[in-house]
């Protein structure tokens, strides 16, 4: 009985302690973990805008709303959010769940200009790439050349450019326009950090060397340059045809399924 009582007290304390001690202050560490894959503070624009002086250019209430759900603010037709969306290549920032208290801490942190934040890394610019770098990047991407630390070829999960038409993995997204989405510094950063959930496991202890990152990035920029923009009207027609086809298939399947069920259910019940 006494044991049970003690156990109860223990769980109760834990229940109270976790929210109190678990709720960390929003500091440089939190920012690095949650925001730095897309933002710098004073290091220039990345996937998202540089957040230096953001507390001066935006109202606090707007920021609270925006951070909680960028998509909602954009959909509501907010002009600032839509301008940002266009400027940052139609990449929508993911919702960031946080309490009011956490937001206050974040706001204070942004006001300090990112106190305690490590200096943002600047990677080699793609403009320095030679045709050798691009070729090396292509060979690495397509698996003709092995990564030094044994990571798998990108091609096994991704396609890019013309290579995509001939094959390439479909597990990951097509990377033809990855350079447009992430930008020069951003693309190096994402390939270096490999922060995508489905990639972290296979690249564990097999990160790319900085030269390999540079080569692959240079190749992806080259792919974007050499892949003509697809005529959208055709794409839409194609999409529409696909949609009609899918709906018809579903209707047919539904029909077939109904028929089948009647046959199998009766004898069972």
Nearest distance in Å: CB 210, ligand HEC: 13
Nearest Cα to 223, choosing from 153, 262, 165, 263?
165
Does residue 24 come out as left (phi exceeding 0), alpha (psi in the -120 to 50 range) or beta?
Answer: beta
Q: Which stretch binds ligand HEC (CB under 6 A): 14-22, 44-52, 114-122, 248-256?
A: 44-52
| Structure tokens, 132 | 């050798």
Cα atoms found within 13 Å of the Cα of residue 72, Cβ hemisphere only: 10
34 binds ligand HEC (CB under 6 A): yes
Q: How far apart are the first and last CA of the chain?
A: 51
Q: Which of 32, 37, 45, 207 binds ligand HEC (CB under 6 A)?
A: 37
CB of 124 to ligand HEC, least distance (A): 16
Q: Give yes or no for a contact between 120 and 42, defined as CB atoms under 8 angstroms apart.
A: yes
Q: Is 120 in the site for ligand HEC (CB under 6 A)?
A: no
Pick the piece of the chain touching ligand HEC (CB under 6 A) from 10-18, 165-173, 224-232, 233-241. Answer: 165-173
Site string for ligand HEC, 208-247 (x = CB under 6 A): x-------x-------------------------------
Chain CA centroid to CA 9, Å: 42
Q: Which of 52, 64, 65, 91 binds ligand HEC (CB under 6 A)?
A: 91
Residue 197 sits at the vertex; the CA angle it makes with 195 and 200, to the nearest 5 degrees, is 65
* Residue closer to ligand HEC, measured from CB, 39 or 136: 39
Of 162, 169, 41, nearest in space to 111 by CA: 41
- Report the interface residues with ligand HEC, using CB under 6 A: 34-35, 37-39, 47-49, 51, 54, 58, 63, 66-67, 70, 84-85, 88, 91-94, 96, 106, 152, 154, 156-158, 171-173, 175, 178, 181, 190-191, 196-199, 202, 208, 216
């Amino acid at each position: 009985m006494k044991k049970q009582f003690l156990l109860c007290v223990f769980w109760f304390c834990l229940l109270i302690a976790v929210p109190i001690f678990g709720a960390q202050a929003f500091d440089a560490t939190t920012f690095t973990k949650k925001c730095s894959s897309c933002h710098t503070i004073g290091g220039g624009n990345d996937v998202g805008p540089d957040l230096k002086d953001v507390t001066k250019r935006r109202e606090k209430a707007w920021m609270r709303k925006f951070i909680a759900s960028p998509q909602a603010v954009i959909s509501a037709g907010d002009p600032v959010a839509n301008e940002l969306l266009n400027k940052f290549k139609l990449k929508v920032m993911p919702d960031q769940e946080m309490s009011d208290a956490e937001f206050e801490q974040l706001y204070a942190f942004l006001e300090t200009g990112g106190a305690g934040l490590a200096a943002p890394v600047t990677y080699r610019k793609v403009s320095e790439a030679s045709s050798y770098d691009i070729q090396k990047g292509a060979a690495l991407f397509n698996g003709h050349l092995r990564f030094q630390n044994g990571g798998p070829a990108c091609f096994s999960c991704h396609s890019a450019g013309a290579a995509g038409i001939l094959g390439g993995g479909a597990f990951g997204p097509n990377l033809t326009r990855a350079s447009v989405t992430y930008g020069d510094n951003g693309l190096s950063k994402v390939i270096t950090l490999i922060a995508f959930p489905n990639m972290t496991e296979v690249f564990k202890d097999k990160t790319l060397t900085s030269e390999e990152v540079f080569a692959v990035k240079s190749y992806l920029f080259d792919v974007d340059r050499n892949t003509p923009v697809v005529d959208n009207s055709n794409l839409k027609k194609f999409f529409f045809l696909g949609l009609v086809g899918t709906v018809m298939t579903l209707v047919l399947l539904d029909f077939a399924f109904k028929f089948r069920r009647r046959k199998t259910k009766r004898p069972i019940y």
